[in-house]
């Protein structure tokens, strides 16, 4: 009796863990099955190589996503240009320079920053960052790719800081001691020994930051202006993959080509997120092999 | 030698600046919202319905909606997540299936929140026929929170010393008895900390609820899980982008942002304090 009970409990826990696999497979299947139906009306070529997205145009709707992909990667690139130096610098400070007391304050602060809802950051993009950008560049509106990049940098910063910090702290003390023994200063040791030794972990943090920025919806939806045209610079309004789904899914009739095309956009996002994860895992796996 | 000293001071100064800027960003966010939001916060704002096209009145339905949807999220994701974590930490060695499960959890954590929204529409709103409802939204947010709950719970379980388990086993306890009496009670604060942090993220999410049940305006509080609801994050989004007079409702938007921020930060703070106390206890 009690043997049976133990087995049942074991099986129950297994089912719970296994459900994660089912959910991931379910998301994948759901996207594929719905996305495929979009391609009954839209050719692969028009979807992946077209630069115009205008599904509600009368007579000749167009479903090109190139400009959305450009927008997504542009805002992400801008965000990384800001967040990577800032995040790695802050991580190095927390890991190697700050006193334990300062660290006790900084770490929870970064954690709280990670917890700020994206819609709040998007809101500040509209009321705070937008007017600043408009003033600085003499524009009528500050809702553009630059604004999105700044906000995405804020969103990605905590990920980059905490993962980089772990990587820097994981560098064996022997490395640093050897460097000190050779007469190197603390600064030289940090820049020439510790950070290069932690490079793989830092790279992984950047990849994870990219993942966050690509998948982020509300901040870019609120702060980038959402123009569907191909952007030519950071002061242009852009509309990312995520924002397109968020704007249009609520209004589109179920079962139309437009409806399924939005799932195809979702599938593209899903594939990008899997790719990002794979790269991050390859980097950390390589790192583990090297440190062994 | 002197040049080296200079370089070191400058370098460390630069790193400190990076850290200061990062914390300053948090400071600017909190202070801007707190100061401008505090002007509209009143008892009426917290307990009244929106009035006159949302230009007056309060945000009660949005507060209640966020609490309800987060509650459903918790009911779904915490039991499932903790059970999954128990399996991964207590019942299994690293094999092929476990490696696959772990990979699935890592990938789920990276799936964009809007994709969870799409999944919620297909599975809960249409597939299960729950419609656009607080239940559909809660379950969608539950899926989003699940990888987080599993990861943090597993860490908490792994932090319980092996000897605790061996002690119970040596007295003839079964596996489940061991877990129930000698592992779970000690992992509980850690699990709770992770769960609260995960739920605070869920409470602030907007993208997954956009199409699964949240509504622009509802003149009454939800009375069943199948009702639509208002939520703080969505209300803030509406007021700042979709309203016909965004400048007029800006103070109310700030007030909404402050209430949302207060809810999320209070949960974060609670989690941080819990963890701090649990760590102190373990050290003793």
Per residue in B171-190, pLDDT (tens digit) is: 988 889 999 999 999 999 99
**pLDDT value for B259:** 96
What pLDDT band is residue B284 in, cutting at 50, 70 and 90?
very low
Give the domain ranges of chain B. Answer: 43-283
Is A6 in contact with B174 (Cβ distance < 8 A)?
Answer: yes
CA neighbor of A265 nearest in space, from A64, A27, A45? A64
With 0-12 / 13-18 / 19 or more C-beta atoms within 10 angstroms meaning exposed / middle / buried, residue B246 is middle
Using a CB-CB cut-off of 8 Å, the residues of chain B touching A16 are 80-81, 83-84, 86-87
Give me the helices (H) in B111-249, please: 113-120, 134-158, 162-170, 175-178, 184-204, 232-237
What is the SS3 assignment for A53?
strand
Which residues lie closer than 8 Å to B221 by C-beta, 6 or more apart?
B60, B61, B64
CA neighbor of A22 nearest in space, from B80, B203, B69? B80
DSSP of B73-107 = HHHHHHHHHHHHHHIIIII--S-HHHHHHHHHHHH
Strand residues in chain A grouped as ranges (E): 53-54, 62-63
**pLDDT value for A261:** 94
Using a CB-CB cut-off of 8 Å, the residues of chain B touching A185 are 4, 8
Round to the nearest angstrom and report the end-to-end CA distance of chain A.
Answer: 46
**pLDDT value for B1:** 57
How is residue A167 written in tokens?
A: 């990587």
Nearest 5°: CA angle at A211, between B106 and B198?
55
Q: Is the domain defined by B43-283 classed in CATH 3.30.830.10? A: no
Is A19 in contact with B115 (Cβ distance < 8 A)?
Answer: no
What is the SS3 assignment for A251?
coil
Tell me the average pLDDT of chain A.
92
Q: List residues bridging with A45 in a β-sheet.
A: none
CA neighbor of A116 nearest in space, from A230, A19, A253, A218? A218
Nearest chain B Cα to A218, which residue?
A: B207
Kindly provide the ipTM of the predicted complex, given to two decimals. 0.93
Residues B23-72 pLDDT 10s: 999 999 999 999 999 999 999 889 888 887 777 888 999 999 999 999 99
What is the SS3 assignment for B133?
coil
CA diameter of chain B: 74
In this prediction, residues B226-234 reach a mean pLDDT of 94
In this prediction, residues B222-234 reach a mean pLDDT of 92
Q: List residues bridging with A54 in a β-sheet.
A: A62
Greater pLDDT, B172 or A206: A206
- In angstroms, the separation between the Cα of residue B203 and the nearest Cα of chain A is 8
**pLDDT value for A224:** 93
Using a CB-CB cut-off of 8 Å, the residues of chain A touching B117 are 245-246, 249
What pLDDT band is residue A254 in, cutting at 50, 70 and 90?
confident
**pLDDT value for B172:** 87
How is residue A215 written in tokens?
A: 């998948």
Helix axes A66-92, A145-169, angle to 10 degrees: 40
CA neighbor of B259 nearest in space, from B33, B28, B24, B23? B33
Residues A4-54 pLDDT 10s: 888 999 999 999 999 999 999 999 999 999 999 999 888 888 999 988 898
Is B118 in contact with A85 (Cβ distance < 8 A)?
Answer: no
**pLDDT value for A1:** 61
Using a CB-CB cut-off of 8 Å, the residues of chain A touching B153 are none
- In angstroms, the separation between the Cα of residue A46 and the nearest Cα of chain B is 23
What are the angstrom distances between the C-alpha of A275 and each of A210, A278, A279, B148?
Answer: 11, 5, 6, 20
């Amino acid at each position: 009796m009690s043997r049976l009970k133990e087995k049942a409990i074991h099986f129950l826990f297994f089912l719970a863990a296994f459900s994660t696999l089912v959910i991931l497979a379910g998301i994948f299947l759901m996207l594929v099955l719905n996305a495929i139906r979009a391609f009954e009306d839209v050719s692969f070529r028009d979807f992946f190589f077209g630069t115009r997205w205008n599904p509600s145009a009368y007579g000749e709707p167009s479903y090109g996503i190139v400009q959305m992909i450009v927008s997504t990667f542009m805002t992400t690139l801008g965000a990384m240009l800001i967040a990577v130096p800032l995040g790695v610098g802050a991580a190095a400070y927390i890991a190697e320079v700050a006193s334990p007391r300062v660290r006790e304050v900084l770490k929870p602060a970064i954690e709280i920053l990670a917890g700020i809802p994206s819609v709040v950051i998007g809101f500040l993009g509209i009321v705070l960052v937008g007017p600043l950008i408009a003033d600085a560049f003499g524009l009528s509106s500050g809702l553009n790719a630059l604004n999105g990049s700044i906000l995405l940098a804020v969103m990605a910063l905590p990920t980059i800081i905490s993962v980089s910090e772990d990587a820097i702290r994981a560098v064996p003390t022997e490395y640093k001691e050897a460097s000190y023994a050779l007469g190197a200063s603390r600064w030289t040791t940090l820049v020439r020994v510790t950070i290069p030794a932690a490079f793989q972990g830092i790279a992984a943090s950047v990849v994870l930051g990219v993942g966050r920025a690509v998948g982020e919806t509300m901040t870019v939806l609120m702060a980038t202006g959402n123009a569907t045209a191909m952007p030519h610079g950071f002061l242009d309004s852009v509309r990312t993959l995520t924002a397109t789904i968020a704007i249009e899914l609520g209004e589109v009739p179920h079962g139309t080509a437009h409806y399924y095309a939005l799932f195809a956009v979702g599938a593209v996002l899903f594939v990008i997120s899997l790719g990002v994860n794979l790269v991050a895992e390859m980097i950390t796996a390589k790192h583990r092999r090297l440190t062994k | 030698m002197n040049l080296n000293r200079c370089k070191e001071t400058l370098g460390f100064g630069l790193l400190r600046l990076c850290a200061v800027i990062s914390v300053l960003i948090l400071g600017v966010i909190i202070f801007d919202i707190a100061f401008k939001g505090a002007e509209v916060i009143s008892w009426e704002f917290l307990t009244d319905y929106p009035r006159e096209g949302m230009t007056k009145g309060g945000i009660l339905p949005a507060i209640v909606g966020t609490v309800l949807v987060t509650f459903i999220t918790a009911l779904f994701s915490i039991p499932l997540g903790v059970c999954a974590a128990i399996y991964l930490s207590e019942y299994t060695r690293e094999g092929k299936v476990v490696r696959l499960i772990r990979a699935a959890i890592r990938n789920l954590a990276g799936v964009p929140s809007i994709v969870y929204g799409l999944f919620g529409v297909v599975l809960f709103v249409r597939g299960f026929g729950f419609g656009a409802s607080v239940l559909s939204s809660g379950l969608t947010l539950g899926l989003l929170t699940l990888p987080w709950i599993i990861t943090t719970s597993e860490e908490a379980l792994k932090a319980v010393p092996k000897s605790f388990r061996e002690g119970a086993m040596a007295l003839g306890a079964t596996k489940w008895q061991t877990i129930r009496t000698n592992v779970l009670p000690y992992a509980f604060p850690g699990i709770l900390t992770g769960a609260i942090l995960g739920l605070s993220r869920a409470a602030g999410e907007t993208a997954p609820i956009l199409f699964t049940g949240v509504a622009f305006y509802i003149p009454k509080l939800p009375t069943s899980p199948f009702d639509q609801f208002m939520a703080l994050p969505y209300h803030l989004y509406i007021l700042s982008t979709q309203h016909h007079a965004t400048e007029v409702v800006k103070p109310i938007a700030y007030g909404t942002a402050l209430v949302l921020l207060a809810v999320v930060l209070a949960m974060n703070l609670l989690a941080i304090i819990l963890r701090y106390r649990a760590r102190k206890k373990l050290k003793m």
